[in-house]
Amino acid sequence: MTVKTRREREKRELRAAILNSARELAAAEGWGAVSIRKIAERVEYSPPIIYEFFDSKERLLVALMVEGFERLSVRLAEAHRAANDPRAALLAMATAYFQFAQDSPELYQVMNGLDGVYFCDLSEDTTLRAMAAAREIVKGAIATWGIWQNLRIEDLEIKLYLMWGTLHGLTALIMAGRLSDEAGDPRALIVTATENLLRGWERGFTSPPTPSP
């Protein structure tokens, strides 16, 4: 039995090594330079070994995408926990989102189709769950903020996507170097965008907010 578990452990480790090699390669030279052969060389195996773990290069990238969403979720949750109030929580999560993209651009790229695999099958269970987990964290924070602000938050799902879209849009533009210097500090831009978003939501309620008891 113990030999079998060792085998399984080794398999797990090799799988992790493959994923890490792909990441390191992408971090160092960009996703365009990542090839099956280079990954294999890095883990000191022959190329076909990759296909023992992943059906294709694309599936390998999807696996990294899952890992990315999991790591992002951790960061978002941390930011949420450390904040003093619901508004600060959302701002902290916004900067955490951006910081994550800065710290792990190769993961952020693979998570958002910025690596050349824009369209791919996301219907796998683990993929869906990893993405949903990250979404739920933000969704919960928005809902909490709404209650705290004495607003009836309707269209929670929509507000989630507005926030996600805002953050992703700015982050992608910044990463691609699309912003002129006049746009100032990127992090400040993210904060401004989030503050503006919240202001718009506050003001969106012309109907009387739910009275506090």
Question: Residue numbers of the site for its own copies (CB under 8 A)?
Answer: 30-32, 109, 112-119, 122, 131, 157-158, 161-162, 164-170, 172-173, 175-180, 182-184, 189, 192-193, 195-204
Q: Which partner, DNA, its own copies, none, binds residue 177 by CB below 5 to 8 Å per kind?
A: its own copies
Residues forming the site for DNA (CB under 7 A): 3, 7, 14, 34-38, 45-49, 51-52, 55-58
The upper half-sphere exposure of residue 205, i.e. CA atoms within 13 Å in the direction of its Cβ, equals 16
Least Å from the CB of residue 142 to its own copies:
13
Nearer to its own copies, 78 or 136 (CB): 136
Nearest to 149 by CA among 105, 205, 103: 205
Q: Cα separation of 143 and 140, whole Å?
A: 5
Looking at the Cβ atoms of 46 and 192, the one nearer to DNA is 46
Q: Kindly tell me which of 49 and 113 has the beta carbon lying closer to its own copies.
A: 113
Question: In one letter, which amino acid is 46?
Answer: S
To its own copies, the closest distance from the beta carbon of 100 in angstroms equals: 15
Query: Contact 205/153 with Cβ under 8 angstroms?
Result: no
* CA max distance for the chain: 68
The answer to whether 160 and 154 are in contact (CB under 8 A) is: no
